Amino acid sequence: MESNPLLPLPEGMHIDQIQASENEVSITVIATHPTCCCPLCSEPSCSIHSHYRRRVRDVPCGGRRVQLVLCVRKFFCCNPLCEQKIFTERLPDLVLPWAKMTIRYCQQLTSIGLATCGKGGTKLAARLGMQTSRQTVLRRIMDLPDLPGGSILYLGIDDFSFRRGCRFVWRRIANVRHKSPSMSRHPFGNPNEQPNPPQSWSVFNKTDARSVWPAMSR
């Protein structure tokens, strides 16, 4: 069976079988590339060692969970100088090595996490037919690469105490491309008794950011 428009697959992969239940769709996918390159030496090989099945989660379809059953092959490396004698074929356009979910599934989880949060993203994903956890959503956000730094125009400051009267901490919230807030111990102890910390931070980081420092409630 050729690739279905509702389930786009990379070139060289075809749908072999579809099994649907009330809440889940299981799709068996096979790879038809005649050769595969060794991940260590990049030498192409057509000598098949064995087959095995790999199960990964994919984006939902019609509100039902989708599980891909990938029929993956193992090849012999034809390079006698290569240390990798047997290797598994890679599917870089569909799933990363050792991953339990497809690339597009991870991208959707990241988008949900950026739009909501960990716990809220879990609830929204469940309504969309995606089974995940709060830790997974947060981990997908933390795995995003850091964007190149830019000039900070406004620097928001928030401070609080873990325990009444001691251990003051403060966090910086910059408005540069959704920069994640950072948290650190208050460098001056009690912020009511020492100079303004944002000024020291701006001098240390060589920026002219305008800052907002809320007054501590007494």
Q: Could you give the angle at which helices 118-127 and 103-115 cross, rounded to 10 degrees?
A: 120
Q: First and final CA of the chain: distance in angstroms?
A: 71
Residue 181: per-residue pLDDT = 46
Tell me the pLDDT band of 209, cut-offs 50, 70 and 90: very low
How many Å apart are CA 92 and CA 61, to the nearest integer? Answer: 22
- pLDDT tens string 132-172: 888 888 888 888 887 676 666 665 655 555 566 655 555 55
Mean pLDDT to the nearest integer, 32-59: 91
User: In this structure, what token pair is assigned to residue 59?
Assistant: 């984006």
How many Å apart are CA 188 and CA 193, to the nearest integer? Answer: 8
Instruction: Tokens 């988008």: give the residue.
Output: 111
Tell me the pLDDT band of 102, cut-offs 50, 70 and 90: very high
Residue 213: per-residue pLDDT = 47
User: In this structure, what token pair is assigned to residue 203?
Assistant: 């001098």
Residue 13: per-residue pLDDT = 87
Instruction: For the chain, give the mean pLDDT.
Output: 76
Neighbours of 165 (CB within 10 A): 7
Region label for 129, one of left (φ > 0), alpha (ψ between -120 and 50) or beta (otherwise): left
Tell me the pLDDT band of 61, cut-offs 50, 70 and 90: confident
Checking if the pLDDT of 212 tops 80, the result is no
User: In this structure, what token pair is assigned to residue 32?
Assistant: 């038809």
- pLDDT tens string 19-30: 988 888 999 999
